[in-house]
Structure 1
Amino acid sequence: MRRPGPLCALVCEGFSSRLAFGLLSFAVPLYARELGMSIAEIGLVVSLESIVAILLKPALGRLVDRAGLRRSLLIGLVLRSIIGLGYVLATLPWQLYAIESIHGASDAVRDPAVNALIAENGGKKAAASAFAWYQTAKTTAGAAGKSIAGVLLTWTAGTFDLTFAVAFALSLLPALPVLLLVPRDSAVAHPVPAVETNGASRGPAPPATRPAVARYAGFGFLVAGTSSMLTSLFPILATEYAHLTPAQAGALYLVTPALAFTGPLWGWLVDRGSRSLVLAVRSIANAGSALIYLFAPSLAGIWIGTSLDDLGKAAYRPAWGSLMADISSQDPSGRGRTMGYLTAGEDAGGAVAPLLASLLWTGFGVPAALLGRVGLALVTEAYAMWLAHRAAGAPSGSG
């Protein structure tokens, strides 16, 4: 059953948390540079959050199920809020590494909990729309957060304390709507039925089937990897390959929030139409944008390619969220564990694919990196077709 109140609280959480993350993602590299850290050290600091989250999500996903989804989300919000205060106090490089490790741990608790709550409260026939609104809020807030960070740093003449303090407040702010609107864990728990023999209970029975988490985590790895393969290299692609000015390249980022608002439309199409069709749109967009970048390296070409790329990303999140909801519903008492594995696979793809793109770029040039993305999109679509075939041929009720 769809629960509008809890969903509103979760969308608010996504917006506020991502707004805080946008501030930090803009300010932290600059702050690390001010502390005298090298580019390589800054890269490690920025990546450490994802590395820790990927390693911890499978294990902490199980703890999320035991502690409860609402309680785990609140714990994750408190941990994430501490990060903002930590940056205010940090004066040494090793302290940044410690703070980013805590950030990764908070994501490892928060992400499985919030995804499981969206799946539970979104309703079976509207899960994609719920994930679409959540992702739209996050995407819009992320872009706004980076802009606000730039304004705050300019206003304070490069003093970072105010920016970090605002990030702390924004991270903690959504705890209130979560406390007020998301039902307590006991109210939405999914008890596992007991096995009875001759009228006597023998304790909880395991689910009839376990979702095939590993193969779908692999799919998340490929989808997220294809989507994020060129993200970190895009400014260089736009300025050095397409010869745009920094101002022109920066203006292209304004496309992302605008196209993010197509997410609810894609969610509606997934809920009432075809999830496979929307996932195919994502593959076409990823491959098509790379080919446009390759053959039309101009302002118009990069703008069209960026728009197509962002459109594919807007379509991907509702379809992937709906798929995660279906998979986790096969084992309701273990939603957190399932979401932990699925989001860890997604995070791993987002971390590995940019590294692959940089190696292809360095070793063989820009065309190799772009064609590599096309190849990865084709592999992802082939994998999706294989998953669909496996699901069609599986016995009823199996994952």
Structure 2
Amino acid sequence: MPGRNRSEVNRVSFTVLLAAAMAFATFAGPAFAVLARFIIDDLGLSRAELGWVVAAFSVVGAIASPAVGKLTDRVGGRKALAGIFILSGLGMLAISAAPSYAFLIAAGIVTGMGQASGNPATNKLISVHIPIGGRGAVTGLKQSGVQIGVFLAGVLLPAGALAWGWRTTLTIAGSLSVLTLGTVGLVIPPDPPAPQDAASSPGIVWSKPILWLTSYGFLMGLAGGAVNTYIPLFGEESIGLSVRVAGSVAGIAGLVAFFSRLAWARHSERTSSYVASLRWIAGLSVVFVGALLAAQEGGAWLLWIGALGLGASATAWNAVGMLAVMVFAGREQSGGASGVVLLGFLAGLGLGPPLFGWSVDRFGQYGPGLWGALGTFAVAAALARLWERTKPFPHGDPTV
């Protein structure tokens, strides 16, 4: 019985730390969203310029992801996990000290490197230390760390910015990331030696299932990054919400996504329905962006439906996608394959916000950008359906 209890405690602490890593790796994204008004006013930025800061965070993460994934397969998940806390923490500290737009871009690049490490490191650790059959719950929970970060950013950052200023608030967040580094050696078991050719064979890393996931991830990042970045500002400027309420919309949507990522991941693993789940996620996202469009005339209740619905759909794709990566790529190359999928997702995530911000500045309204996001989600749903039709799976989705 003592051995069993210790195993359960280790599983819990392992999952909690991975969730914390994902929260810190991606925290800059929701931070830029909910602090948009403060940063724009402080540094005199346009909405499009703020979008390019988010792009620096995301595009650098995209470009670096394949190399970071390959490096993760070589050095092991534990070292890569430590890098997440260091890079993300230092990046947020740099953002909080930014005296100019150029410095803010540079700080976004540093946090982007932390983001690039997030999924390769955590997926590698799960594929090495968690047996098949238990990965769905662990993956869903660790991916929900992103939504924990979104929730905390939405609820705490606006209040902190109003009380102490946005710079002090981000300084606290960055410091917490660096301090969490001390728990890595206590919680994460040593990695087993990797086979000498594990990180050198491109066959699985660039296989068709991984490339399908990369394309799908690009579309979800393009639309989801645009909408999620600007939902608080959309609530303030188009619906008339206060800063606190608009931040709460993003925060509570993040809380919804916490549970939806766990549910989608467990369902897709139990039924081996990874591609079908991705199709449903994109299709539902179309519906909920439609609710945001209707909110411009129908009022705040439709904004809440759209935001919470996207939390239950669009933002959950990562849990299913990353679980699928581990299944398709296997233990030895899960880090490299994760990096390739992230290349697509983060490229979309980097392009979406500046394009959406440009459309708002150009047309003076949010409608064109929202219609673009709706269309992009529809294409993602069609892509997933095409994947199913191109290669039928008589016993569910492929497992390797």
Instruction: Give the TM-score, by structure 1 length.
Output: 0.79
User: Measured at CA, do residues 93 and 316 of structure 1 come closer, stay the same or move farther in structure 2, by a change above 3 Å?
Assistant: closer
Please say if 1:223 is aligned against 2:226: no
Matches within 5 A, 1:176-255: 176-185=182-191, 187=192, 189-191=193-195, 211-212=207-208, 213-235=210-232, 237-238=234-235, 243-246=239-242, 249-255=246-252
Pick aligned residue for 1:6 from 9, 14, 18: 14
Query: CA–CA distance in 1 between the matches of 2:344 and 2:350?
Result: 10
Please say if 1:266 is aligned against 2:264: yes
Query: What amino acid is aligned across from residue 195 of structure 2 in structure 1?
Result: P
User: Measured at CA, do residues 42 and 129 of structure 1 come closer, stay the same or move farther in structure 2, by a change above 3 Å?
Assistant: same
- Answer whether contact 2:276 2:385 (CA < 8 A) is retained: no
1:379 counterpart residue number: 379
Q: Displacement, 1:180?
A: 1.4
Q: Does 381-390 or 147-156 show the bigger shift?
A: 147-156
State the identity as a percent: 21
Aligned Cα root-mean-square deviation (Å): 3.8
Pick aligned residue for 1:55 from 54, 58, 63: 63
Q: Displacement, 1:341?
A: 1.1
Please say if 1:124 is aligned against 2:137: no
Q: Displacement, 1:130?
A: 1.9
Q: Secondary structure at the match of 1:232?
A: helix
Query: What amino acid is aligned across from residue 252 of structure 1 in structure 2?
Result: V
Query: What amino acid is aligned across from residue 117 of structure 1 in structure 2?
Result: L
- Answer whether contact 1:32 1:42 (CA < 8 A) is retained: yes
Query: CA–CA distance in 2 between the matches of 1:17 and 1:333?
Result: 23
Query: CA–CA distance in 1 between the matches of 2:359 and 2:45?
Result: 27
Query: CA–CA distance in 2 between the matches of 1:131 and 1:208?
Result: 24
Query: CA–CA distance in 2 between the matches of 1:367 and 1:42?
Result: 19
Query: CA–CA distance in 2 between the matches of 1:356 and 1:302?
Result: 21
Higher share in helix? 2
Q: Secondary structure at the match of 1:230?
A: helix
Query: CA–CA distance in 2 between the matches of 1:218 and 1:356?
Result: 19
- Answer whether contact 1:229 1:357 (CA < 8 A) is retained: yes
- Answer whether contact 1:360 1:368 (CA < 8 A) is retained: yes
Alignment deviations for residues 288-335 of structure 1 (CA, whole Å, 9 cap, x no partner): 113333446323322222222221135423222221222321xx4333
1:306 counterpart residue number: 307
Query: What amino acid is aligned across from residue 291 of structure 1 in structure 2?
Result: G
Query: What amino acid is aligned across from residue 381 of structure 2 in structure 1?
Result: E
Alignment deviations for residues 106-152 of structure 1 (CA, whole Å, 9 cap, x no partner): 33334422232234434322333222212323212332134433343
Matches within 5 A, 1:67-146: 67-87=75-95, 90-146=98-154
Question: Which of structure 1's runs of 4+ aligned residues deviate more than 6 A?
Answer: 396-399
Q: Displacement, 1:269?
A: 1.5
Query: What amino acid is aligned across from residue 220 of structure 1 in structure 2?
Result: G
Query: CA–CA distance in 1 between the matches of 2:50 and 2:374?
Result: 30
2:3 counterpart residue number: none
Q: Displacement, 1:27?
A: 5.6
Q: Displacement, 1:205?
A: 9.7
Q: Displacement, 1:222?
A: 1.8
Query: What amino acid is aligned across from residue 387 of structure 1 in structure 2?
Result: W
Instruction: Give the TM-score, by structure 2 length.
Output: 0.79
Unaligned runs of 5+ in 1: 195-203
Q: Secondary structure at the match of 1:173?
A: helix
Alignment: residue pair count: 382
Please say if 1:290 is aligned against 2:289: yes
